[in-house]
Amino acid sequence: MTSASCGILTVSDSCFSKEKEDVAGKELEKAVTEAFPDYRIVFKAIVPDDRQEIINMLNKWVSEQCNLVVTTGGTGFSPRDVTPEATRSVIEREAPGIAYAMISKSLQVTPMAMLSRAVCGIKDKSIIINLPGSTKGALECFSFIRGCIPHAIALVTDNKSAVMKDHKAVQKQEQFEPSKVATDNVAERPRESAYAMFEVDEAVDLMLEQGSIPASTEQVPIEKALHRVLAEDVLSLDDIPPFDASIKDGYAVRAADGDGPRKIRSILAAGDAPTSMPLQKGEAVRLGTGAPIPAGADAVVQVEDTKVLVQEGGEEIEININKAPVKGQDIRRIGCDVAKNTVVLLRGERLKSAHIGVLAAVGKSTVTVYKAPSVGIITTGNELKEHYEELKPGQIRDSNRLTLINLLKEYHYLCNDYGIVRDEPNSIKRTIATVLTGNDILITTGGVSMGEFDFIKRVLIEDFKATIHFGRVNMKPGKPTTFATLIFNGAKKLVFGLPGNPVSASVTCLLFVIPMLRCLEHASVWQFPTIPHVVTTSKQNSDPRPEYVRVIVSYHDGKIVAKPNGGQISSRLNSLVGANGLMLLPKSMTPSKEYLSKIILISDLQT
């Protein structure tokens, strides 16, 4: 997905006067960021319901080449609702299809949608889209039209490669062949899984063995290199420091002169060029911290070890050295931190703030890093609705998709959102093809178990000729976790079929998806740290599966303490809120017996 710049404009008298909080604008910002992780929100503003102020802001953002301008508010029948009129004054060409799509979809939600007067259009390389002022309406309308936005931006910015890629994808969809998966033989479906049960370690090893795909690299400015993985060893271009420098505020002297009086010859501050005239006997040069050491000086005496003997007009003329200095005292020698051509960072290191500082210090303005694999995600389920939609009997809100998108973001991976897919083979096949057209990896959640409507594995095998490397893992939660590979459009693709239960999806993402992404990014450290831990149970545990209990791990009185974070059933997402570890409980535990196990740290240890 190509990067684009975005602006979100809230049009509201009450929000502008701060009588009301701008909830719609904030929620739209989240929605845009989640839908298009690569897009940059460069403008945010609130203006009153004033036609000229709206026009001025729109023109300003367009002149600064903001590719997508989304407005919220001012599209109704009130006398102060003038956003459509202001938008028409700015745009050069109208885009009525976008407005029609929003209204037609909204009418399926509420008949009041016919009162919307939203306008959408184009000015230069910008697309302006009016959305309703209510948070619910704005989010719903954005969800209706977000699928066309990347292609629209590619068209107005004349991004030919992106346009061609989109056209090919559309052509493939137009040539869509129905899924080969039969749905009319429910009574004949298998009653036992055809997939062997793998232990977690076995599954991870198999995943790493079968999941390799080529990694590419790119050069990025160090300002944008945080959390990226180095694809090169980095050498220092210079000695650091590049000259002998003072460690303290004080005076450069000759150690051989011992203690006693010194005449101040000159002053040097950090950033001044060193003087080439050698320091003479009985002389001193006043220095600031980091200042270069003048020729002939071989020690620095801190201010605290001196006394002013003669001053004139506030300036020091002569001082006394109270304590005889030692040669080399308080001097940072050239190259003492890093010598020129020394390897300072190794390929495979993930860059943190200190790494960026080192890169700047050694004069490295750009750095070669590995490109992270591109990831797309879908959730499957006829019962699922978006979090902002009203529920009907039998429906639930989809929490898995946003949880996983943001879980990946916590570990520095972006994920493209392809929405909710019905439990129907044709829909699943079409969406998988769309995701794999633009991504290296597909993550699905739901539809991988033994249910009548669990079609993911069958669609992968029958329609995409995928190889299922494992379809069951001996773990709790997460037993139906699936990993597959396939060839799509001549390229190898990876598929993670995660369970539909919220906790199961998150735990298996942590144990399988994130380690795989780290390996594909060639990170030298790809596993989560583990701590040995002795576990016990107060009641008989006959479950043959080891369990990954969500725990809060802390350090108290010299001991590691792990406290289960509430109820542990696989649908209880709250057990992950605040958890920073997964404690492994062995299978079939006997009461009062101690078992040596481990805790997987997924976040910082609490103290």
- Of the candidates 212, 199, 235, 224, which has an alpha carbon nearest to the alpha carbon of residue 526? 212
Distance CA 570, CA 558 (A): 32
* pLDDT value for 175: 64
E strands present in 414-502: 416-421, 441-445, 467-470, 472-473, 482-488, 491-498
Helix 135-145, helix 23-35: angle, nearest 10: 20
**CA angle, 221 then 242 then 340, to 5°:** 70
For the domain made up of 245-332, the CATH class stated in words is: mainly beta
The model's pTM: 0.73
Task: Check: CB of residue 446 under 8 Å from CB of residue 500.
Answer: yes
- Of the candidates 408, 501, 487, 400, which has an alpha carbon nearest to the alpha carbon of residue 448? 501
Helix 425-438, helix 456-464: angle, nearest 10: 70
Same fold, 5-166 and 193-215+372-520: yes
Alpha-helix residue ranges (DSSP H) falling in 36-95 = 51-63, 83-90
Distance CA 245, CA 77 (A): 71
Distance CA 173, CA 181 (A): 18
Query: According to the 3-state scheme, what is the secondary structure of 6-35?
Result: EEEEEECHHHHCCCCCCHHHHHHHHHHHHH
Task: Check: CB of residue 531 under 8 Å from CB of residue 560.
Answer: yes
- The pair of structure tokens assigned to 221 is 């400015």
Residues 6 or more apart from 30 whose CB is under 8 A from it? none
- Of the candidates 551, 264, 504, which has an alpha carbon nearest to the alpha carbon of residue 404? 504
Per-domain boundaries in the chain: 5-166, 193-215+372-520, 226-239+337-370, 245-332, 530-601
* pLDDT value for 170: 63
Q: Which residues pair with 99 in a beta bridge?
A: none
Q: Which homologous superfamily does the CATH classification assign to the domain defined by 5-166?
A: MoaB/Mog-like domain (3.40.980.10)
Residue 598 — φ and ψ, nearest 5°?
Answer: -150, 160
* pLDDT value for 1: 47
> 168-172: long-range contacts (C-beta < 8 A, 24 or more apart)?
168/437, 169/434, 169/437, 169/438, 172/433, 172/437
CATH 2.60.40.10 applies to domain 530-601: no
* pLDDT value for 172: 60
- The pair of structure tokens assigned to 60 is 């300003």
* pLDDT value for 344: 95
Helix then strand then coil, in percent of the chain rounded to 5, is 30, 30, 40
Q: Is 454 helix (H, G, I), strand (E, B) or coil?
A: coil
Task: Check: CB of residue 144 under 8 Å from CB of residue 102.
Answer: yes
Q: What is the dihedral of CA 2, 23, 96, 174, to 10 degrees?
A: 50
- The pair of structure tokens assigned to 241 is 């420091």
CATH 3.40.980.10 applies to domain 193-215+372-520: yes
Region of 133 on the Ramachandran plot (φ > 0 left; ψ -120 to 50 alpha; else beta): alpha
Task: Check: CB of residue 114 under 8 Å from CB of residue 107.
Answer: yes
The dihedral through the CA atoms of 177, 180, 186, 187 has a sign that is: positive
For the chain, residues with pLDDT lower than 50 are 1, 571
- Of the candidates 306, 318, 305, which has an alpha carbon nearest to the alpha carbon of residue 263? 318
* pLDDT value for 575: 75
CATH 3.30.420.40 applies to domain 226-239+337-370: no
Cα–Cα separations (whole angstroms), residue 271 to 291, 292, 558, 561: 7, 8, 47, 51
Peptide bond into 477 cis (omega under 30): yes
